[in-house]
Amino acid sequence: MMQTNQKHAILYRMVTDKHICPYGIKSRDLLQRQGFSVEDHLLSNRDATEVFKREHGVSTTPQTFIEGQRVGGYDELKSYFNISTQDDRETTFVPVIAIFVMSFLMALAFSFRPSGDIGLIAVVEIFVALSMCGLAIQKLRNLEAFSIQFVTYDLIAMRHVRYAYLYAYLEAFAGLGMLAMLPAWLVSPPALLIGVVGATSVFKAVYLDKRELKCACVGGNSHVPLGFVSLTENLMMVSMGIWMLVK
């Protein structure tokens, strides 16, 4: 039998009925992408979390241990792997670039539309497509901040953090594809994927689990409550995905 030399890490992170720590999810994902098997310990309530912090003399969770040594939280883990951590106060052109690039692509997409009078149905189609593009811009302005909020409730992103980054690009592609009136077989699948999964995730988090969360639909660091607005956004994508297929 072949022996595996896979590296091993121990992770303690907070996962309760009302709160799932996004940095815990991202720490697990980072460890797995670095080739570690992860012994994942879930702190299921505030009391267990406080006991853990007292025992280890730390003030926050998550906490990662590698080869018996405490590495620390998510930022310390990134430093351990020599991955740079962007400071929110750092100068960056990413938000401006996201706006201009998406605006150019939206203008380009319009050039693919057949000429003719725009009726009510076309107005609705364009409205939904532009809304999706606008929401994608908000996410693309700061993908890291968006992912931190998104992984706390999206059912796929919780397990596969990279999906949180892919989501913004899929939303942008679907919106641009609708504007350009690209073939339905090309545009509908991504719109239906993110719409169905998104609507299911929001419904579960808000209406079944009764969790009070902030919505990542307008990007990270937002103060929009997760609920009806988020559900509407996803249902719009589902509706447009279906409409394009049956149109």
Please compute the mean of the pLDDT values over residues 185-208 and round it to a whole number. 95
Distance of CA 128 to the CA centre of its chain: 20
Q: What range defines the domain where residue 76 resides?
A: 7-80
Better-scored residue on pLDDT, 124 or 176:
176
* pLDDT tens figures, 30-58: 999 999 999 999 999 999 999 999 999 99
- Answer yes or no: do 69 and 108 share one domain: no
**Confidence band for 86, pLDDT divided at 50, 70 and 90:** low
pLDDT band at residue 87, thresholds of 50, 70 and 90?
Answer: low
pLDDT of amino acid 1: 41
Residue 234 falls within a domain, yes or no?
Answer: yes
- Asked if residue 242 and residue 135 are part of one domain, the reply reads yes
Mean pLDDT of the chain: 89
Find the mean pLDDT for residues 17-32: 93
pLDDT at 90 over 80: no
* Count of helices and strands (H, E) across the chain: 9, 4
Domain shared by 150 and 207, yes or no? yes
List the CATH number of the domain containing 52: 3.40.30.10
Quick: pLDDT tens for 137-157.
999 989 999 999 999 999 999
- Distance CA(145)–CA(166), nearest Å, equals 14
Angle between helices 228-246 and 120-140 (to 10 degrees): 130
CB 9 within 8 A of CB 27: no
25 and 142 in a single domain? The answer is no
Residue 222 has pLDDT above 90, yes or no: no
- 118, 192: one domain: yes
* Alpha-carbon separation of residue 85 from 74, 131, 145 (angstroms): 10, 31, 12
In this predicted structure, the answer to whether residue 4 has a pLDDT above a threshold of 60 is: no
Q: What is the dihedral of CA 134, 138, 139, 141, to 10 degrees?
A: 130
Average pLDDT over residues 171-197: 94
* pLDDT at res. 3: 47
Same domain, 110 and 170: yes
In a domain, 122, yes or no: yes
E-state strands within the chain = 7-14, 36-43, 63-66, 69-72
